[in-house]
Structure 1
């Protein structure tokens, strides 16, 4: 009995000590902390778990946007974080070589090795970026364009089969296309998600893994509690399967010889560690691929699905886009990357507008001052205290009316100059605030690949199909719900789910093969 009484007293004492500690820490963060004068949500000032909570709810980008509407262009969104909503802050942060990725990125690090996403050392990041850039540069894409086209042709066949069954969920097929293309470009072997259901679980599993990673990025302490594992234990099982799959792809690619083709694998295996000079090891290739495959497979699919969602809701824009594509290419066999594709200015405007309204990465990329840097840091005129993480929320910046007037309307003229478009100065301002691919030395290396793949897909689909919104409730899939949720109340806005790389679903479209329409007209 005495032993049990001792345990009870010790437990009670630990509980009281914990409560007292929380009271002291929270009081300090509200009253004496260097950031205490900055406005923001009350609970965000107390704990970083405020951000993790909304990361788990996959609405962090929307919450941040509304926080800016309520509190202004500088918001304290965590005890040690400031999020900005000005172009000047965006330039000060992401084009500033004094700043590095936040320490929280380390929670996404693999066992023993960093990927280009988790690495914080600038020299190593530069090394990894060069490797990735070789595989996805515009020059490299031209040499493997035929591979990309093969997968796009498969997409057209699958969309044709789906169209005969009713409305088609574009996200389902375009996500699979993304993974098929990037796996083939990386390892010379496609996952064949479009034609084989064996690995189709990858698309949904990756999104759940990203939710977990995003929560850990917002609150690294979630790892210490074990909550991360208990909430996402099923992702761990699939992760072993995914790692095994990537290892098998890498091993089969190695058997062909690293110089068999200029791809991601060849770039990785042909590189050396910048610090030790040793050759790249297979575990490093696998770790890099665990980021490369989802990043390359998902971001383009989000831009494409957003584009099809918007043009289906804006018929005049759709008609103009179809006219440009059909006047440039007579048949889908004529479509290829080159001067004719580059001349499709309206197509490029559609892609930019879709990525502006619904950016593939819609969250905040956190940065902090290097620990060895003791010089004062000023962001958009604000002196930043030591230990503060800073960032700009891409979704919020993209919907700042200072840079994008009427920010929730699909307005292609903002990317064009002329009688109905922007002035040169307005276009320059909008282009400067366009952050879909981030900026600076850590900007997206696959920008050329994304534009090329997306442009080819749009042209191929519009040359083969007439598109229209789905029937009944499916016509609104992918958009907002005015009667259900304030955060997602804009009906025509393509909805994003902040998984770090944005999640999405829909739109559902009615596709009609043009050859069938022509046959009916002749009959």
Structure 2
């Protein structure tokens, strides 16, 4: 048989297979009665396409507006948009992390993010919890304050030398410096040294690949991700060399020299094999640790600066609260005074609601050994289905947040909170919620408070003011000009806001 004949038969067989599989998914599949886009019901590549375009969160929101509170987003996936679903999915100990998350692993080892075995996840979460316990946070706070002070110096340089300050540029470097110091006992010094700044965009490429693969694991199996693989390799070796340098220097100082994430990880054993933690396992954790700690703080703070610059009443109120609580910039630290700033916390929560750093869907499934009926918000879920709640979509559900696209910190003082708090999941919820939540609030609160103690700010002039917002074009997914735009690749990238800083009149 000639080559062309083989090729023709191969193509014909592939087409026939697609017809059979798609026909089954459309007419006989257990999820066929759930509403959703036709293309999503036929192929997981529907989600992969939107993930590659960095808009999975916007697509989920649009689909909920069109089809209701439960949407079939892939042949075997359902996305919910209710507070009851949050409870049924993320507070249900029968469910495990979806096994599909392992396609994001670079070493083949589990991390606290990918582990679906509950013993492994519990072990790793305890290690993270030790690194950011109340005791560890008290010890780490002076180091964090040091990085905040460096941030203040960088903002002052920008104020004096630039027409406007791009807050994403400076705050993202700050976030990565903090998480590096927390994890390795050594800062990358991204705020002052350009040597390793490439890791911020390199990790974004890495996460785009991972999020796309998570939506469609066949993205990896078919080799379609090879172009992105080469993009990962570009500078990838330098990233690994950087991690190796950090770990080598940390080992030289001695594991017990400081209570940080590295110390707890390297002093532990795998709960299943009983073996010491390997460097490959630590690398897997580091690949999650950096964006989880750096991108989340950057996203929350930049979104808040965006909304405060556009809401003068809120800006005046939070500024007055901070400046009447503390006498000087140096007085700002964790403790009862900072905790008493309730409006500050409300502003942070509203910022996290509107622009959650992790805006997508965290997937859960039943173990293969569990055959008991499974119900989510009144819907019986067929075996083998992945379920989740999309963070962006539920945070903009008017049933819980009236006027959902408006920045209203006052909503967090409402007497009718109820489901509003259940639906608020910027750090996920349940047993797999983010262990670094308290650290994130402390870091963001100290940084914002110190900045507001020293500076007044307003949006930049002209077209520079619009950076970070939507296009303003009616009908577009990103058309809301006064909405801070996030670009979902598990964590989120963002731009701006561009602000004009000026020293506060004392």
Fold-level match, TM-score > 0.5?
yes
1: CA distance, partners of 2:203 / 2:341: 33
Given the two structures, how large is their TM-score scaled by the length of structure 2?
0.98
8 Å Cα contact 1:325-1:463 kept in structure 2? yes
Please tell me whether residue 93 in structure 1 is matched to residue 83 in structure 2.
no
Question: Match for residue 69 of structure 1?
Answer: 65
Matched, 1:245 2:242: yes
Distance in 1, Cα, partners of 2:351 & 2:481: 15
Instruction: Quote the Cα distance in structure 1 between the aligned partners of 2:204 and 2:106.
Output: 18
Counterpart Cα distance in 2 of 1:485 and 1:136: 44
**What SS does the corresponding residue of 2:255 show, helix, strand or coil?**
coil
Q: Check the 8 A contact 1:322/1:462 in 2, yes or no.
A: yes
User: Structure 1: 5+ residue runs without aligned partners?
Assistant: 417-421, 519-523
Give TM-score, length-normalised by structure 1: 0.95
Q: Secondary structure at the match of 2:431?
A: helix
Give 1:482 shift: 1.6
Superposition RMSD on alpha carbons, in Å? Answer: 1.2
Match of 1:267 among 264, 267, 275: 264
Q: Please name the residue that 2:315 is paired with.
A: 318
2:107 is aligned to: 111
**268-277 or 376-385, which deviates more:** 268-277
Match of 2:341 in 1: 344
Contact kept in structure 1, 2:473 and 2:480, CA below 8 Å: no
Aligned to 1:446: 436
Alignment match, 1:166: 163
Match of 2:13 in 1: 17
How many Å separate the matches in 2 of 1:293 and 1:133?
A: 16
Q: Which of the residues 47, 56, 61 maps onto 1:51?
A: 47
**Aligned twin of 1:521:** none
Match in the other structure for 1:419: none
Secondary structure of 2:501's aligned partner: strand
User: Secondary structure of 2:479's match?
Assistant: coil
Q: Distance in 2 between matches of 1:204 and 1:273?
A: 32
Structure 1 contact 183–293 (Cα < 8 Å) conserved:
yes
* Separation (CA, whole Å) in 1 of partners of 2:176 and 2:169: 12
Please tell me whether residue 496 in structure 1 is matched to residue 486 in structure 2: yes
Query: Cα offset for 1:149?
Result: 0.4
- The one of 459, 464, 467 equivalent to 2:454 is 464
Aligned pairs for 1:19-418 (under 5 A) are: 19-164=15-160, 165-416=162-413
* 2:422 match: 432
- The secondary structure found in structure 2 opposite 1:427 is coil
Q: Tell me how far apart the structure 2 counterparts of residues 393 and 114 of structure 1 sit (CA, whole Å).
A: 24
CA distance in 2, matches of 1:57, 1:138: 39
TM-superposition CA deviations, 1:447-474 (whole Å, max 9, x none): 0110000000000110111110011111
Q: CA deviation at 1:86?
A: 0.7
Cα deviation for residue 232 of structure 1 reads 4.4
For 1:206 and 1:382, how far apart are their aligned partners in 2?
Answer: 38
Q: Distance in 1 between the 2:397 and 2:428 partners?
A: 16
- Distance in 2 separating the partners of 1:497 and 1:190: 27
Displacement of 1:137: 2.3
Contact 2:190 2:197 in 1 (8 A): yes
Bigger shift: residues 108-117 or 437-446? 108-117
- Equivalenced residue count is 505
